[in-house]
Structures are given as C-alpha cells and as structure tokens.
C-alpha cells in the first residue's frame, strides 16, 4: 500500500519561531564552475544564481552557498553577499550593514569576509542567510563579490570545482 500526504503549509505544533519558519515547502539549486575575477571595490555579479517562486507571500527563503574562494595575494580582502531580484526586477543587496558600517549597499561588508594578512587565502566558503521577499513572484538570488584591494576569485577552481547555491522555501 502506498500513501501520499499533500499540504500547503507545515507549521510546528508550538507555532512558527520568531524570526524563523516552519517546514520546507520546496528546494531549488544552482551551480557554476565559471570563475569571476574582480578587483572592483563595489559588488560585482558572479556566475552563481538560482531562482525560486514562493507558493506563499508569507514564506521565508533559506539561502545556502558553498564553494571555494581565493584572495590571490597577502592583504587582499574579499567580500561576498547575496543580491535579490523579484519578478526580473533590479538586483539589490540583502545584507544588512553592521553597526559600524556606514558604506552604501554596493560597498558594505556583505555576509562573508575572506582575508589573509600574511598569505594568500584559498579556502572553502559557506554563506547562509534567511530572507523574507514577501512575494509569490519569481525571486532570483545571485552571489556578488567585491575586493578591498587586489584581485579576488569566486569560485576559484575555474572549470573544475563547482560552487552551489540552494534556496529553500520555508513556511512562515
């Protein structure tokens, strides 16, 4: 005998946690092995993105990215963040500024900073975030990268190791 359960929302018995969500409604993935090299001090789009169409405007999107990144030289600072586009609109940085960061959204510290004072840093990277796009239209998330100095790379193994992005719609 086979069974099937179909539901529109999954809410924990104790309710949705503050700032969090309930159950996973859908998951999508994107990947790239095409490297972005940049020396820009403002964020530049990488080749890594994924698009999700939320079933409910109240849903949250849990975003996870993994890949390798490279600062190329000692003292280079690399920043990574997520930009979001709703219904093919303009991309905007979703990383909040830190309490000591007065930079514009195109030059803030993003979600991840990779830095090596005395050496080149070539490391695996993870970046996670929860977003509330408040829409039922398609939402594209793209990884953007910037440098404070020198040239940085993401993903750094051009044509070899792929970087991946996962989007999970979570009931809100």
Q: Is 14 a member of any domain? A: no
Whether residue 130 contacts residue 118, with contact meaning beta carbons closer than 8 Å, is answered with no
Record the tokens describing residue 72, joined without a space.
Answer: 């190329």
Q: How many helices (H) and strands (E) does the chain have?
A: 0, 11
What digits encode the pLDDT tens for the residues 80-100? 999 999 999 999 999 987 767
Q: Which domain holds residue 162?
A: 24-170
Answer whether residue 95 is part of any domain: yes
pTM: 0.88
Residue 9 lies in a domain: no
Residue 160's alpha-carbon distances to 31, 32, 67, 71, in angstroms, are 12, 10, 11, 18
* pLDDT tens track for 15-48: 766 766 678 899 999 999 999 999 999 999 999 9
DSSP assignment string, 50-108: EEE--S-TT-EEEEEEEEEEE--STT-EEEEEEEEEETT---EE-PPPPTT----TTSS
Q: What is the mean predicted confidence (pLDDT) over 120-143?
A: 95
Average pLDDT over residues 57-64: 95
Assign residue 158 the CATH number of its domain.
2.60.120.760
Mean pLDDT, the chain, rounded, equals 89
pLDDT at 76 over 80: yes
In this structure, is residue 4 part of a structural domain?
no
* 90 within a domain of the structure (yes/no): yes
What pLDDT is stored for residue 141 in this prediction? Answer: 98
Greater model confidence, 108 or 166: 166
Residue 5 lies in a domain: no
Say how many domains are in the chain: 1
Residues ≥6 apart with Cβ < 8 Å to 43: 79, 81, 83, 93, 106, 107, 110, 144, 145, 146
Query: Rounded to an integer, what is the distance from CA 49 to the centroid of its chain?
Result: 8
Of all helices (H) and strands (E), which one includes residue 170? strand 163-170
Is there a domain that residue 133 lies in? yes
For residue 8, tell me if it sits in a domain.
Answer: no
């Amino acid at each position: 005998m086979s069974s099937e359960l179909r539901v529109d929302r999954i809410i924990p018995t104790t309710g949705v946690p503050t700032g969090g969500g309930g159950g996973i409604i859908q998951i999508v993935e994107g990947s790239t092995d095409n490297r972005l090299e940049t020396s820009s001090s403002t964020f530049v789009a990488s080749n890594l993105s994924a698009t999700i169409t939320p079933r409910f405007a109240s849903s949250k999107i849990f975003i996870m990215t993994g890949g390798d990144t490279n600062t190329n030289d000692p003292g280079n600072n690399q920043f990574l963040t997520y930009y979001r586009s709703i219904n093919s609109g303009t991309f905007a940085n979703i990383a909040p500024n830190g309490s000591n960061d007065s930079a514009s959204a195109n030059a803030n510290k993003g979600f991840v900073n990779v830095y090596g004072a005395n050496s080149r840093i070539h490391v695996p990277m993870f970046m996670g975030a929860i977003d509330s796009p408040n829409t039922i239209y398609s939402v594209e998330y793209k990884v953007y990268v910037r440098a404070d100095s020198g040239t940085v790379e993401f993903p750094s193994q051009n044509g070899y190791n792929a970087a991946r992005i996962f989007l999970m719609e979570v009931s809100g």
